[in-house]
Amino acid sequence: MKPLRWGILGAANFALHHMGPAIHAAKGASLCALATSNPTKAAAFGAFVPDIKIYESYDSLLAANDIDAVYIPLPNHLHVEWTLRALEAGKHVLCEKPITLMASDFDRLIDARENSGLLVAEAFMIVHHPQWARARDIVASGVLGRLRHVAATFSFYNDDATNIRNIAAAGGGGLRDIGIYAFGSTRFVTRQEPRVITHAKAAYENGVDVFAQVAAEFDDFDFSATISMRMFPRQEVVIHGEKGVLKLSCPFNPSVHAQAELHLETDTHTITTQRFPSINHYVMQVEAFGRSVTDGSPYACPLEFSKGTQQMIDMVFAELT
């Protein structure tokens, strides 16, 4: 079977350092094209894909007949527009998160997906990592007993005013950038949805949220999260039940922050640690996307799931106003 031929819209640093190499390394995928008008950035991609074809505009890449799928790492406020344009051009789409800035925008994407018959998904890579599949199985097994609380923390330090995360007009802010992981991972691992946001507090700089504390009630448990773009890097998810505790010490970007590890403590007073060294969830995401395109395999993060996470983000912003 021929590999899925990929193009990238925009030479973002994240595409250069993570997703570009992942597409290049993934089985069943071939990184063939990049759209950028910047020769220096194009050369950086050519360093690991010497025969990559460079297009000077996004539209020219989308018009290419030898590209099957595109990855979109553009600023957040451009995601919906270019996802729709890519679908209109007949390309499958993997778009960086958040794929929309409002949950209501998902209806346009879902309609376009259904009308085109193409795959379009948000690049929520963590659900493709085996630590999260294992965590989901542990929760479902009942070994933790009744769930009572889930706590998530994700922080890093970035005060670069030119970075799109710090630009309000580009859809920046911590909740959209990394809150999506705290909220989406909790929904994924528990298979539950938030009923109400019980507390939301945020600090803003230049119109974007740089720190937030959020509490919510799910059907069977309480949830709390700390999200910040102005704190020392830290990430952790703790799932606390009546009979046990499951801790993910590097839940969101293993191999960058630290090694992915699950720590399970049960009512037998034992701690079992499971480690996942050298697993690249970006590669696994590309491979899962390709399988879904080529043989119809179920995709772990369909638009309907991503819409649910955006709905929770919208709920938090509504509480903050």
**Are 2 and 291 spatial neighbours (Cβ–Cβ below 8 Å)?**
no
* Alpha carbon distance 250, 267 (integer Å): 24
Annotation marks residue 97 as catalytic: yes
pLDDT, tens digit, 9 for 90 and up, residues 107-120: 999 999 999 999 99
Sheet holding 4-9, edge to edge: 53-55, 29-35, 4-9, 69-72, 92-95, 120-122
* Alpha carbon distance 166, 93 (integer Å): 26
Residues forming beta bridges with residue 238, ordered by sequence position: 151, 247
Instruction: Report CA torsion sign: 7, 13, 14, 19.
Output: positive
Residue 255 has pLDDT above 90, yes or no: no
**Are 262 and 289 spatial neighbours (Cβ–Cβ below 8 Å)?**
no
Distances (CA, A) of 106 to 103, 122, 303: 6, 11, 7
Q: How would you class 193 by CB atoms within 10 Å of its CB: exposed for 0-12, middle for 13-18, buried for 19 or more? A: middle
pLDDT, tens digit, 9 for 90 and up, residues 19-45: 999 999 999 999 999 999 999 999 999
Contacts of 250 (CB under 8 A, 6+ apart): 235, 257, 258, 259, 260, 261
Residue 1 has pLDDT above 80, yes or no: no
pLDDT score for 256: 83
**Are 131 and 260 spatial neighbours (Cβ–Cβ below 8 Å)?**
yes
* Alpha carbon distance 27, 75 (integer Å): 28
CB atoms within 10 A of CB 137: 11
Asked whether the whole model's pTM tops 0.85, one would answer: yes
pLDDT, tens digit, 9 for 90 and up, residues 173-205: 999 999 999 999 999 999 999 999 999 999 999
Residue 258 has pLDDT above 90, yes or no: no
pLDDT score for 69: 98
| Catalytic site residue from 41, 97, 247, 307 | 97
Q: Which domains does the chain have, with CATH numbers?
A: 4-124+284-299 (3.40.50.720), 130-278 (3.30.360.10)
Residue 278 has pLDDT above 90, yes or no: no
Q: Terminus-to-terminus CA distance in the chain, angstroms? A: 52
* Alpha carbon distance 212, 258 (integer Å): 23
Tell me the percentage of the chain whose pLDDT exceeds 90: 96
pLDDT score for 267: 80
Quickly count helices (H) and strands (E) in the chain.
Answer: 11, 14
pLDDT, tens digit, 9 for 90 and up, residues 293-311: 999 999 999 999 999 999 9
